[in-house]
Amino acid sequence: MKNIAILTGGDSAERVISLKSGQVVRENLPSDHYRTFLIDIQKADWRDVDSGTAIDKNDFSLRLADGEKIHFDAAFAALHGSPLEDGKMQGYLEMIGIPYTCCDGYVSALTMSKHNTKLQLAPYQVPMAPSELLQKGAAVDVEKLLQLGLPLFVKPNDHGSSFGVTKVKTQEALLPAIVEAFEYSNEVMVEAFMPGREFSNGVLRVNGEIVVLPVTEIIPETEFFDFAAKYEGKSKEVTPADLSDTLTQQCRQLTGKIYELLKCKGVVRIDYILVGDTFHLLEPNTIPGISPASIVPQQAQAYGWSLGHFFSLLIEESLT
């Protein structure tokens, strides 16, 4: 029986999503193989959700009321946003010697930045939309941004779950959208709009080999795949996607390529826009949502795995 710390909560606006993801992991991990503990991470306050007992950060252990001291065999990454998705926590876990089910600190920090991810992948002919990066407090060259064309997407550079994202259709709406995005990040990316269908594809390693899951098409009822579409049922998701064999293969091959190029670990969801017959990268998500409404669990089940088996694979891979 392995003791598993399910890391949840967090310090960002994505906290509410993390708490749901953590609960889903706990409900589905086989109880005959794993003893699970939900660990709520809030800045320096790390606590077991059930008992309210604080984690001893000297050795990442938990002392229960009956005196039993719990040492963890692995940490399951169910925390979206900071301090895990941006890589801050992985260094601590490595120093303590606790395996974890996600990308390492460097890769997590890299992919948390949409702009830096693009810079990393640009030499490898990965199709992407043109974009500009803005720094908080710096002057905004509206004319230069408008050269990307309208509509534009304005996004916090290092935030997820579509918080602060706006589809800008007019010049007048551009600056207010940038101001809103800066509420979530000190950097904002302004990206050209790509007309096309939206797809998402999960990928992970199993026994050291890359496994690319079925492709999902996302058909949002909203203007784009925003928070409501992701978490409030305002989208239709089709898994496997209605694509030709050629396009399905193109998408899955690109997913595997990006996973390898970025040196990812654990499960990663990679989002695309299909423009014509070419998939363009939107972004990789190194800790994708795993709530019942999320895409990767749909793909795992379409692949033939139960959620319990899927989550178990992630833990066992982290232990190798």
- Of the residues 235, 285, 291, 294, only one is catalytic, namely 285
Q: Which domain holds residue 19?
A: 2-101
Say which of 231, 266, 291, 317 is annotated catalytic. Answer: 231
Q: Render pLDDT for 199-212 as a digit per residue (tens, 0 to 9).
A: 999 999 999 999 99
285 is catalytic: yes
Same domain flag for 14 and 89: yes
For the question of whether the overall pTM of this predicted structure is more than 0.75, the answer is yes
Task: Assess whether 241 and 143 both reside in one domain.
Answer: no
pLDDT at 228 over 70: no
First and final CA of the chain: distance in angstroms? 17
Catalytic residue at 185? Answer: no
- Last-in-domain residue among 142, 158, 192: 192
12, 161, 235, 291: which is the annotated catalytic residue? Answer: 161
Instruction: For residue 231, indicate whether it is catalytic.
Output: yes
Residue type, 154: V
Determine the pLDDT at residue 81: 86
pLDDT band at 221 (very low <50, low <70, confident <90, very high): confident
Q: Are residues 218 and 289 both part of a single domain?
A: yes
In terms of C-beta density within 10 A (0-12 exposed, 13-18 middle, 19 or more buried), how is residue 309 classed?
Answer: middle
pLDDT tens digits, one per residue of 8-47: 999 887 888 899 899 999 999 999 999 999 999 999 999 9
Determine whether 271 is an active site residue. yes
Q: What is the C-alpha separation between 193 and 190, in angstroms, rounded?
A: 9
Answer yes or no: do 84 and 188 share one domain.
Answer: no
Catalytic residue from among 40, 283, 294, 317: 283
Q: Which of 21, 289, 312, 317 is catalytic?
A: 289
Domain count, the chain: 3
* CATH code at position 95: 3.40.50.20
Q: Which of the residues 269, 272, 291, 317 is marked catalytic? A: 269
Is 97 a residue of the active site?
no
User: What single DSSP character describes residue 164?
Assistant: T
Examine the residue annotation and report whether 14 is marked as an active-site residue of this protein. yes
CATH number, domain with residue 146: 3.30.1490.20
* Shared domain check, 163 and 210: no
Q: Are residues 311 and 298 in the same domain?
A: yes
